[in-house]
Structure formats: structure tokens, C-alpha cells
Amino acid sequence: MTDDFEPLHSRLAGRAVEAFYFGSATIAGLNPLSRPELHGIERLEHIPYRRSGLRAHHLDIYRPAGCDNAPVVFYVHGGGFRFMSKETHWLMGLGFARRGYLVVAIDYRLAPRHPFPAALVDTCHAFDWVVQNIADYGGDPERIVVAGESAGANLAANVALASTVEFEHAWMRRVWRHETVPRAALLACGILQVSSPQRFRKQKSLPEWLYHRIAEVNRDYLGPSAFCDRRSTRLADPLLVLEELDKPDRPLPPVFAPVGTADPLLDDTRRLEAALSELGAPIEARYYPGEVHAFHAFLWRRRARQCWRHTYEFLDRYVPVDGR
């Protein structure tokens, strides 16, 4: 937990960046080409995965035409655990569905109103729902890919961990009990250790406003839990769990981890690659020179298109669409 003072100009810069990401996704979604039906894809919206009555406990399904027993991409959006939604991440749903995957894009409760572990609890509930129900929508519950970027990569990594390591937490056991290990995990530019924003102070080129945005993730997501012992927030740091793990109870899935070299979260992917290599898990980390955080969402950039091509090549090896 950090109590560093943040000047007003820094806060304004941070809010401008958040508005840019949110606005870019919203404006792009107004493009007629973003309509799923133009690509032979049906979008089923606002399906409840928890009967709470909360809007956060819903998911969307992107279903390719003629979908029958298709592999599933379970997608968890990013946004620092504090903003964005399944709607802002329509590009991910559309991109994987056009490739032939049935895509489940979830919402979850957001901080600071709902601090840790709310987002993780919801993500595990959503995965539980998918395993039990996705066959009714044309998906194969035995071929699930967990995916996410930034904060979503953190949550997706925890689902992979919950499927391979027996934890005591009730929400993690919702995943464990199915004995359904994802066939692969796509963990893009993940923030994989939330509890220690101070480590980013070592990056001397990191702008002050950007450090405060990372520290804000720590403050808002961990909330009151940040004052407790580390055991209470352990699963906010899936990277540390992996680094401390001797051996999983079930084999970890293959992981594809893309990140830009100008991303302040770069070191988390480097450590993820080292930790998974040490555990003997298949890991393909890709580093894209000069690219910023979540660059793969900006499809007008050459390296973003390259990243998607590498992602599809990885999936073709581990979770191919039938007939491809």
C-alpha cells in the first residue's frame, strides 16, 4: 500500500490516459464493421453467470455460424481492476470468433467499490458456469482457453492456477472441482504482482503520473486487504504464487505471453517466462520492440497485427479449430 502524494497534474494525466483507452474502444465499436453479424457471428448478450441481479455478473457469447462443439476462449477484460468491460473489449470477442472459436467475454465487479477478491471470485464463478453450460451454446467444455490482458491476465492466470493447484479458497475450488485444466492460457501484458507498486520505482524512465496509476491499482484493488498479512492477498499476485510453487498438482497449461518492450509491466512477463520455464510448463513469451501497454488492441499498428498472428499460430498448435 502506498501513501505517496500525487500532484493534480499527475492525476489529470492518468485520467486522460484512461479516457483514451475507454474512448478508443467505444468509438471503434461504432464502426459498422464491428457488428458481429457482418462476420457471420452471433452475439448473445448479458447472460447471467451468477444470480445476484448485478450487471457485473453477466457475460456475452460470440458464436460463429454453424458452431458445434467448438473450442472456447474465456476472455477476461483488463482495465486495472477498476474500469472497462466486456463491451469495451468487443474486438477480442470478434477477433477470436472470426477464427472459429466460441468466445465468452465476462464482466466482473470493479474496484474500488468491490476490492479484492471480488473480481477473482466472479471470474472463478464465470469459469464454473462455462464448464457446466457452454455445451448448450455449441462450445466444447473440454477445450477451453483462458485469456486476458493486463488485469485480465492476472485473473486468467489465477483461473489456470485454480485448475492445477488445490487452494483452500472456496472460489478457487469452484474451478478445481471440475478437473478441467484449460488447454492454453493467453496472458497479454499482465500486471501479475499487484501488492508491490514500489518495485516500479526502479524504472528511472517511468513518468511520475504512470507510477501513480500503478500505485492506484494497488490501493483500489487491494483496498482494506492491503493492511492485512500477505496471506490474505496472495492470489492478487499469481506471479509470486508461481515463483514459490514447487510443483502443481496437475500440469500447467501452455502459455502465450505477449508484451511490448515500452510497457512498464514488461518485467512481470519476463518473470512469468522464467517461473514457468523453471516449472517445466510450455511458455512462449513474445517481446515487441517499442510497443506500449495493450498495443495489440491498436490494429492499425503493424506489430499489433503481428501479435495477433503469433497468437493464432500458438492456438493452432495447442487448441486448433476443427478442420483448420
Distance from C-alpha of 175 to C-alpha of 163, rounded to nearest angstrom: 6
CB 294 within 8 A of CB 22: no
**Residue pLDDT, tens place only, 280-305:** 999 999 999 999 999 999 999 999 99
In this prediction, residue 287 carries a pLDDT of 98
pLDDT for res 209: 83
Mean pLDDT of 230-257: 93
Read off the pLDDT of each residue in 154-160 and give the average, rounded to a whole number.
98
pLDDT of residue 2: 45
Quote the DSSP letter at residue 253.
Answer: P
Which grid cell sits at 94? Answer: 470478434
33-195+221-318 maps to which CATH number? Answer: 3.40.50.1820
- The more confident residue out of 231 and 203 is 203
Sketch the domain layout of the chain as residue ranges: 33-195+221-318
d(CA 181, CA 71): 13
Residue 6 has pLDDT above 50, yes or no: yes
Distance CA 287, CA 266 (A): 9
Q: Both ends of the chain: CA-CA distance in Å?
A: 48
The residues pairing with 255 across neighbouring beta strands, listed in sequence order, are 185, 283
Alpha-carbon distance of 137 to 146, in angstroms, equals: 18
What distances in angstroms separate CA 88 from CA 3, 28, 61, 163, 257, one per listed residue? 31, 9, 14, 28, 21
| Whole-number Å distance between alpha carbons of 1 and 318 | 39
Most confident of 25-29, 30-34, 106-110: 106-110
Residues belonging to the chain: 324
Q: Which amino acid is at 44?
A: L
Average pLDDT score, the chain: 90
Outline where DSSP puts E strands in the chain. 41-48, 58-64, 70-76, 102-106, 139-149, 184-188, 255-260, 283-288
* CB-CB contact of 107 with 58 (8 Å): yes
Describe the strand order of the beta sheet including 255-260 as a list of residue ranges.
Answer: 41-48, 58-64, 102-106, 70-76, 139-149, 184-188, 255-260, 283-288
- Checking if the pLDDT of 17 tops 90, the result is no
Looking at the predicted structure, is the pLDDT value of residue 193 above 50? yes
